Amino acid sequence: MDQQSIFAPMGALALLTFAVLGLIPARRFRAASAQQVTADDFRFGESERVPGHVSIPNRNMMNLLELPALFYVAALMYYVAGRVTAPVLGVAWTYVALRAVHSAIHLTYNNVFHRLVVFAASNVVLGAFWVLFFVRPHP
């Protein structure tokens, strides 16, 4: 298997992260234009006056910078060790897909239960990604 194939799910997750990053100023500027917020509402983070639809992209961005860091590290471990296989790639793409679904739920209808189920599933997959590295014999 081409070891560089692990870069595709890594790139997809990075692309998702940059897309969410783009939503933050877009929603903030739109809210400022509608006079829902002022610059002072962001002086020390986000004030209580910031509406949920404006603050959610920022929270989702934080989610994409927390546990996914462990995904990037593990993916690089697989690459450096020359251990990228089809099952590994499948687990990596599953993780990225679950993170994309989590973001889609969070940024749209934001049902907390649906979001939690997908978030939890992504964490199980991430754990499996790590365990697979240490328990699977070297190719």
The CATH number of 3-135, from 3.40.50.300, 2.40.110.10, 1.20.120.550, 3.90.320.10, is 1.20.120.550
Q: What is the pLDDT of residues 114-126, one digit of tens each?
A: 999 999 999 999 9
- What pLDDT is recorded for position 15? 98
| Residue 66 pLDDT | 97
Per-residue pLDDT of 65-87, as tens digits, reads 999 999 999 999 999 999 999 99
pLDDT above 80 for 138? no
Domain boundaries, the chain: 3-135
* Confidence at residue 44, expressed as pLDDT on a 0 to 100 scale: 86
pTM: 0.93
Three-state secondary structure string covering the chain: CCHHHHHHHHHHHHHHHHHHHHHHHHHHHHHHHCCCCCHHHHCCCCCCCCCHHHHHHHHHHHHHHCCHHHHHHHHHHHHHHCCCCHHHHHHHHHHHHHHHHHHHHHHCCCCHHHHHHHHHHHHHHHHHHHHHHHHCCCC
Amino acid 47: pLDDT? 85
